[in-house]
Amino acid sequence: MNETNSLYIAIAGNPNSGKSTLFNELTGLRQKVANYPGKTVEKHVGVLQDDPDGNIRVIDLPGTYSLNPHSPDEEIAHDVLMGWSDDTPRPGLIVAVVDASNLERNLFLVTQLLSLGIPVVVALNMMDACRASGIEIDVVKLEQRLGVPVVPTVGSRREGTAELKARILSTLKQPSVPRSVVQIPDAAAREVDRLAAHLQAHELAAAESAHGEALRAICTENSFSHPRFAAARDPLKTTILAARDSLAQAGFAWYAIEAEAGYQWIETLMAEVRNVREARLTFGERADYWLTHRIVGPAFLGLIVLMIFVSIFALAKPPMDWIKHLFGYLAVLVVNTIPAGPLQSLLTDGVITGVGGIMVFLPQIMMLFFFIAILEDSGYTARAALIMDRIMGRVGLHGRAFIPLFSSFACAVPGVMATRMIDNARDRLLTIFVAPFMCCSARWPVYLLLAGAVIPNTIVLGFIPLPAIVLVSMILLGIVAAVATAALFNKTILKGVTSTPAMELPRYRRPRLRMVLQTMWERSLLFVKKAGTVILAMSIIMWALTNYPHRPDAAPDQQIKQSFAGTVGRVIEPVISPIGFDWRIGVSILSSFVAREVFVSSMATIYGTNMSDPHRAADLQAHLRSELDPETGLPFFTPLRALSIMIFYVLSMQCVSTIAVVRRETNSWKWTLFQLGYMTGLAWIACFVLWQGGRLLGWS
C-alpha cells in the first residue's frame, strides 16, 4: 500500500454513534491501530473493501460533538478534518455517522462538516433503535435538505453497508462540495469574511477553505495557539479577538453563534423529516430506572465489581500457574542445555525470572481488559460514573475515574490505560496520578511474606488474626493516600482547570464480541511488547548489577554483597537507614522495580533460600525471623521494621511497567518523573515518621 498516494476517507461522528462498527464493516480485517504521533489517542486506519484499485484508506476519527475541540481526542478529529494533521492528509471524503435515534443532536456536527469544503456522505446509523423507539425518518427529505447522500444503516447487522460503499465510490467519482446549510447572523458573517481575507492575505489558508477556517478560528477558544499559526500568531490573535469584540457589540456571544444558528436550522428540519408515531419507553430507559435507582443502582454496581474481582482472582489463577510452570520449564531447559556459567545465569536468573515475574500477571491483565471493554461497549461505564460521581467529585476526581481506579486493584497498567475513557485531559491526569496507590496484585506477595513472617499471629476482637488486620490496613492506606493526593492536587497543581460540564448517558447496546476481543487483544499486546522490551532490559540490568563483579567461589549472599547492587545498597544505606532499611532491603527494593513481587525472590537470594521449591517458601520466613540485629543481638525483622517496608510498598511507585505506561499515557516524562518523585518521597516520609516515631515509643 502506498501511503502518500492514497485517498483518505474520514469517518466522523458523535461518540456512541456506531462509528467503529461501520468502520469495521467498511474495512474488514485490513486495518491497523497506532497512536497519533506524540498523542495518546488511538488512530485506526484501514483499506476500503470492494474498491477495485485498493488504495482508498479509511480513518476512524475519535468521537466528537463538534468541530470546536474540547478534549485531546476532539483536537485530533478537528485537525485531521481541517487538513492540519502532520501524518494524515486532508480527507477526500467524510462519512458522517449519525445515530438516527438521536438525530437532532447528531445533526449538529453534520452541519459543521458540511462547511468544510469536503464531499460528505451521511450514514444514518442505528435505524433499528430508531424504529424501536417509534420514530420514523423521511430519508428522501433529509437527503434533499442536507444536499448530500444519506444512507440508512444498521452497522451491527450489516444492513445498508453495501449501499454505503456504493455511494462512497460514486461520490468519489463525481465529487461535489456540499454547500453550508446553516445561515449564521449577518454580523457574524461579516466578521468571518474579514478574517477569511486576513487568513488569505497572510497565506494561512487557501481561497476555497478560508471561510470555513475563519469561522472555526472565531468559534474555537484558543484557535490562534495552534502550532500551524506559530509564525503569524500575534497579528492573528489580535484580529480574532477584535472580531469577537465587534460580535459582542452586535449582541452576539462568539462561542454561541454556531450552536444557536445550527440548532435553529435543525429544529425546522426535524419538524419536516421526523414523525413520532408513538413515543415508546425503550428497553434502555426501563433498565436505567433500576440501574441508576437509589438503592438498586449502587447495589448492582457493587455486584459487578465483586464479580470482576472474583473472576480475576479465581479464573486467572490456572493460566497464571501455567505461565509460571512454562517459565519454570524454560529455566530447566536452559539449565540442561547451556553449561553453568554467566550465560546460563543471565538467562535463568535475569531474563526468565524478570520477564516471567511480570508475565504471570498477563491473564489477570487480559481479563481486566476484557471486562473493561464489555463495560465500555455496553454503555454501563456512564452509569457507574453517574453513581460514583458525587463521592469522587469531592476530591476532584471524575465519576469516570471509578473503573480505572478499581481496575488498578489488580494492576495499575490496565487501570492507567483505562483512563482513556475519561475524555477530559485534566481528569485523566489526576486519575493516572492516584491509580498506582491502589493495592495491585504484585504487592500481595510482599505483604504476605512480611506479615506472615513477623506479625504475631494473635487473635484480635475475638476472631480476627492480627496479620489479616495488617493486610487490610495496607489496602486502606493506599486508598487514603490516593484520596489525599487527589484532594491536594485538585487544590494546587490542577486548580482551576475545568472538567467537562456534561456527560452523555449513551443508549445501552449489546457488547459486540469482536470489538471487546479486539480491544483486549490490542491492549494486551501493548503490555507484552513492554514486557519484551523495557522489562527485559531492566531484568538484564538488575541481573548484571547483582552478579558483577563476579566472585565465582563466593556464597550467594556474599556475591550480592560485593556486587554493584550491593555497593549501591551500601551507598544508599545512609538514606534508607532512617526508615529502618539496611543495604539488603535496599537492594531488594531496587531490584523489585522490575515487578514488586521480585522483592521476595531477591530476599530469597540474599538469604540463600531456594524459592523455586514452593515448600521452602516458608523457609524464607523462618530465615527472616531468625535474623539477628548485629548491634542489639535482638531479632532484626521486628514488626515495626516489617511495617515500614510494607508501607514503603503501599506508597512508592516501585514498578517499571507502571512508569512506562504512565509515560505512554501522559506522553510526558515531566509528569512521569514528578509522579515517581512524589510517590517515592511520600513513601520515605511516611516510613520515616513510622520508624522514628515507633522507636521513640519504644516499639522496636
CB of 98 or CB of 470, closer to other proteins: 98
CB of 504 or CB of 573, closer to other proteins: 504
What are the angstrom distances between the C-alpha of 346 and each of 270, 330, 334, 601, 655? 70, 13, 10, 15, 21
CB of 221 to other proteins, least distance (A): 5
Quick check: 106 and 99 in contact, CB under 8 A?
yes
CA dihedral 187→191→192→196, nearest 10 degrees, is: 150
Q: Which of 431, 391, 390, 389 is nearest to 412 (CA)?
A: 431
All 3 cell numbers of residue 575?
538514606
* Segment 88 to 107, residues that bind other proteins, using CB under 8 A: 101-105
CB of 380 to other proteins, least distance (A): 14
What does the angle CA 197 – CA 202 – CA 206 come to, to the nearest 5 degrees?
A: 65
Q: Which of 40, 66, 408, 524 binds other proteins (CB under 8 A)?
A: 66
# chain residues binding other proteins, by CB under 8 A: 43
Note every long-range contact of 240-244, with CB atoms under 8 Å and residues 24 or more positions apart, other chains counting.
240/195, 243/191, 243/194, 243/195, 243/218, 244/218
**Binding to other proteins by residue 271, rule CB under 8 A?**
no
Q: Which of 98, 126, 382, 604 binds other proteins (CB under 8 A)?
A: 382
**Binding to other proteins by residue 259, rule CB under 8 A?**
yes
Q: Which of 23, 108, 380, 409 binds other proteins (CB under 8 A)?
A: 108
**Binding to other proteins by residue 185, rule CB under 8 A?**
no
Which of these ranges, 343-351, 386-394, 428-436, 440-448, lies near other proteins under the rule CB under 8 A? Answer: 386-394
**Binding to other proteins by residue 221, rule CB under 8 A?**
yes
Helix (H) or strand (E) holding 42: strand 42-47
All 3 cell numbers of residue 675?
509522579
Which of these ranges, 294-302, 348-356, 437-445, 532-540, lies near other proteins under the rule CB under 8 A? Answer: 294-302
Q: Which residues contact 25 (CB under 8 A, 6 or more apart)?
A: 155, 158, 161
Which of these ranges, 162-170, 286-294, 432-440, 516-524, lies near other proteins under the rule CB under 8 A? Answer: 286-294
**Binding to other proteins by residue 597, rule CB under 8 A?**
no
What is the rounded CA–CA span in Å between residue 333 and residue 322?
Answer: 16
CB of 292 to other proteins, least distance (A): 6
| Contact letters for other proteins, residues 418-437 (x by CB under 8 A) | --------------------
Q: Which of 286, 293, 317, 491 binds other proteins (CB under 8 A)?
A: 293
* Segment 484 to 523, residues that bind other proteins, using CB under 8 A: 498, 500-505
Q: What are phi and psi of 611, to 5 degrees?
A: -85, -10
**Binding to other proteins by residue 251, rule CB under 8 A?**
no
Q: Which residues contact 53 (CB under 8 A, 6 or more apart)?
A: none
Q: What letter would DSSP give residue 497?
A: P
CB of 218 or CB of 526, closer to other proteins: 218
Q: Which of 387, 429, 542, 646 binds other proteins (CB under 8 A)?
A: 387
CA dihedral 264→268→269→272, nearest 10 degrees, is: 170
Q: Which residues contact 520 (CB under 8 A, 6 or more apart)?
A: 366, 369, 370, 373
What is the rounded CA–CA span in Å between residue 386 and residue 399?
Answer: 6
All 3 cell numbers of residue 66?
463538534
**Binding to other proteins by residue 292, rule CB under 8 A?**
yes
CB of 16 to other proteins, least distance (A): 10
**Binding to other proteins by residue 115, rule CB under 8 A?**
no
All 3 cell numbers of residue 217?
478560528
What does the angle CA 163 – CA 164 – CA 168 come to, to the nearest 5 degrees?
A: 115
CB of 666 to other proteins, least distance (A): 22
CB of 654 to other proteins, least distance (A): 35
Binding site for other proteins (CB under 8 A): 65-66, 68, 70, 101-105, 108, 219, 221, 253-256, 258-260, 263, 288-289, 292-295, 297-298, 382, 386-387, 389-391, 393, 399, 498, 500-505
